[in-house]
A and B are shown apart, each in its own frame.
Chain A
Amino acid sequence: MSPVLDAAWEGLLLVFAWPNILYPLAGTLAAMVFSLLPGVSGVTLMALAIPLTLSWDPIQVLLLFGALVGGATFMGSATAILLNIPGTAPNAATMFDGYPMARAGHAGTALGCSAAASALGSTFGVLMLVALLPLMAVLVPLLGPPEYLMLAVWGLAAIATVIRASVGKGLVMAGLGLLISFIGFDPRTAELRYTFGTLYLQDGLHLVPVFLGIFAVAEVIDLMASGRTTISGATRLDQLAGDALEGVRAVFRNFGLFLRSSLIGTTVGAIPGLGGTAAAFVAYGEAARSAGPDGRFGEGDIRGVLAPEAANDAKDGGSLIPTLLFGIPGSAGTALLLGVLALHGISPGERLVSNLSLAFVLIWSLFLSNWISSIVGLSSVNMLSRITVVRTSRLAPLILILSVTGAFAYRARFADVWVAFGFGLLGYAMKRYGWPRVAFIIALVLGSMFELNLHLTMRLQELDRIQLWTRPGFMLLVLLLGVTLWMPGVRFAAEAREMIGRARRRVDR
């Protein structure tokens, strides 16, 4: 057997050794319970656990932390689907189609799809990690600012697909999202942009309160103002259509999309500094693009749930690649993990790679907890779907309070609560007057990644450090982008022709 497989086997034995197996179980369950609260993510729980684990054996620490990260992701998407509340920032991409599905009475299907995509996505991520670990030392250094730039552009280009109903308004929203993403300290020049002299805006607007506002609060206002009796419109569970199995089957029906999304997740996850939010959004964009004209993205297309969920869980495996190889964290979770391991005297790059079985303990724990949480999640789909038939008069104030909690729990600032509600009003106005919120959010998420890497690429080019056209990754992404832009471009042209035609007719009259 190869040393990697040997280490994998050894790691597996360590996981199942008594009482080690209790750690991933307890960690997953704790993470599932607590991540139902918005603002509490796997990373929060890890931070909470640091002092507790100082005297533990490193194996147990790895087991617990893998499980905390793995267990928290499913619940984050459950609240995104059911209440339009993203449990963590990456789950925001799941809301775009998950919540419309819940509104249409298909919460069960969306939840089933999310659970299956998560479990399989994480499996894909782990397999890729194992397969690529020997290759990655060569691959990761090939990716630099030009490739990150193209990834951001590719993600932004997806906006073109989701705004087909109104290209003009969609572009305005995208532009506004970009501008808002530039708020704060510009690290390249140490200048402050659009902060109006406040300390609060110096670090930019944080995603979680903005997401909570634009989606959750706005949705509650709409729910209350529209006089809808429940989220799904149905008042009894048996009136809901679709079940969890249908969602699971959707993953297999769209297996190609699943593989592509997982690949995006693993790749973006492997790039330090990009993070899971970018992974989920880029995968969503790819799904929307590849679906072509028959997609109903933003209106409850199940592929819009599948893609970000698969990517979000596949990224965990990917984010371990630079962690294990270079000691460079690929995500918030791995950053914290490295810090904790350092407290135990383990510095990655030395002991962690030379002691691969230890790394596999973490990988297996992550893997196991993803499956446990998906199975628990699947079996509780009916219970969870019940939320969509709860009367608005009872549910609405609770969602509002959850939003407050999520905004506040993030870092205990009252200003975050106001930001959430301010964006709630904005989101409601956007919804009411037909300005696509999805375009706004995608631009907001990818804006700074776009700007920073554009700047770095331009500087590298200016100083003659890179040749764009000789970079395989860059060229591949340019090609993909070309395809992405082709189809909406055609439609845009068609719409423009139609508009001109309409104007002419008006003039003629």
Chain B
Amino acid sequence: MRLSRSVLFTLCLLAVVLILAYLTLGLSPTSRLVPLLVVVPLIGLLLVELKRGVGGADAEEAGAVEAGVEETDTGGRSERGVLLWVLALPALVQTLGILAGPGLFLLLYSRLRSREPWVFALTVAALTTLGLWGLFGLLLETSGGVGIPLLQGR
């Protein structure tokens, strides 16, 4: 038995579904009717998938399953790097606000990951910030201390 990441994902899905199933039980008959009809077979199906996954059946059909999935072996490290970069953006937006967050992200990304020249990185970051200011500051009403502050996160 091997616990691949694919099987781990199935296990996560199962955990989520089990939590939802538990919450469903506390609802009134009207509210839980359809969720129960969904959640019970769902648990069964997930167990079947889990068994197939542990049995290695997934490997047989990997790649054929969804459009454009190329089973490129990206290696754990580069994938982890990508995920960190991707999650850095909402974190920056949360802390610095909707203007500075994306601007800084673009600057860092262009310099550190894409290794673009400074001029390019700065220009793109500035233009993006300007565009966001146009959208949120001018078109949609968020500036001026009421509504959503542009320059700060939460």
Contact = CB atoms under 8 A, between A and B. Distances in A.
Contacts of B23: 193-194
Given A394-B114, A417-B90, A175 B30 contact: no
A191 B41 CA distance: 24
**Which bracket fits the contact residues of A?**
35 or more
B139 A433 contact: no
Contacts of B58: 433-434
Interface in A9-38: 34, 37
Contacts of B34: 178, 182, 450-451, 454-455
Interface stretch (A66-74, A223-231, A267-275, A466-474): A223-231
B69 A431 contact: yes
Interface of A: 34, 37, 40, 48, 100, 103, 165-166, 168-169, 171-172, 175-176, 178-179, 182, 186, 188-189, 191, 193-194, 217, 220-221, 224-227, 298-300, 393-394, 397-398, 400-401, 404-405, 408-409, 412, 414, 417-418, 420-421, 424-425, 429, 431-437, 450-451, 454-455
25 contacts: A172-B46, A175-B39, A179-B35, A188-B31, A189-B30, A193-B24, A221-B86, A225-B74, A225-B82, A299-B68, A398-B128, A400-B86, A400-B89, A401-B89, A404-B98, A404-B102, A409-B140, A412-B142, A412-B148, A414-B153, A417-B94, A433-B10, A433-B58, A434-B58, A455-B30
B67 interface: yes
A171 B45 contact: yes
B20 interface: yes
A394 B106 CA distance: 9
B62 interface: yes
B15 interface: no
Contacts of B61: 165-166, 434
A179 B74 CA distance: 32
B105 A401 contact: yes
A408 B98 contact: yes
Nearest to A195: B23
Nearest to B7: A433
A11 B76 CA distance: 63
B126 interface: no
Contacts of A455: 30, 33-34
Contact of A433 (B9, B78, B114): B9
B135 interface: yes
Contacts of A400: 86, 89, 105
A147 to B, nearest CB: 19
The 3 A-B residue pairs whose C-beta atoms are closest, nearest first, are: A434-B65, A299-B67, A393-B114
B14 to A, nearest CB: 9
Given A165-B65, A179-B35, A188-B30, A227 B42 contact: no
